[in-house]
Amino acid sequence: MINDINEISPDLVVITGDLTDFGYVFEYEEAKRYIDEIECERKVVVPGNHDARNLGYLLFEEFFGKRLKTLKYKNITVVGVDSSEPDIDEGHIGREKYEYIEESFNGENFKIFALHHHLLPVPMCGRERNVPVDAGDVLELLDRLKVDLVLCGHRHVPWVWRLNNMIILNAGTTCTNRTKGRIGRSYNLIELDEGMRIYRISPTGERNMVIDEKRRMEVR
């Protein structure tokens, strides 16, 4: 997969968490070596619930920097937040982060919000109990800020929801065999130019388009 990504030569890579299983040092070391093989200068990495276990949320900052971050590239703004809580699977963004999110998304850039937990339930996951406790407030905030794209993960099922003019893209999994049914592993490729195209790519290189549309502004 790393070779495939490097062949694509992306301008930006976003990784939405669960880099480790139990948040241990040796897992973080392995994850860092793996991610460093991706030949891209601009990476936004946020922690998942597995990464917050066993004080792993502190190790995350040692290996990958702050758990709340903003990256601006051309006229794209990416805001990444930590939605994890130590040693539990449930997600929470928290009101103390709302002001940061709002200030980071000022202006008319193409706006991307990244977190681990999905803000809307994802099908084929059984009983749903891992939507962040403040998901409704966060969705209202993102909609009001005219966020274009939300990137999330957590349940290993790739899916797309549309809420008003916002696309919510749930990633599958690239590495683990803990997949559901015959869904398999995958990652998402997003192309932004005069519009937005999203492809779901399997480890075999099979590419399926899931979104193809014009957006409200051109990305240059």
Residue 215 scores a pLDDT above 70 = no
Residue 107 has pLDDT above 60, yes or no: yes
pLDDT average, residue stretch 45-58:
93
pLDDT surpasses 80 at 123: no
Instruction: Please report the pLDDT score of residue 174 as a whole number.
Output: 72
> Over the chain, what HEC string results?
CHHHHHHHCCCCEEECCCCCCCCCHHHHHHHHHHHHCCCCCCEEECCCCHHHHHHHHHHHHHHHCCCCEEEEECCEEEEECCCCECCECCCCCCHHHHHHHHHHCCCCCEEEEECCCCCCCCCCCCCCCCCCCCHHHHHHHHHHCCCCEEEECCCCCCEEEEECCEEEEECCCCCCCCCCCCCCCCEEEEEECCEEEEEEECCCCCEEEEEEEECCCCCC
What per-residue confidence (pLDDT) applies to 220?
A: 54
Give the pLDDT confidence score for residue 87 in this predicted structure. 83
Locate the domains of the chain by residue range.
Answer: 2-177
- Mean pLDDT of all residues in 130-155: 92
Task: Say which CATH topology domain 2-177 has.
Answer: Purple Acid Phosphatase; chain A, domain 2 (3.60.21)
* pLDDT value of residue 171: 86
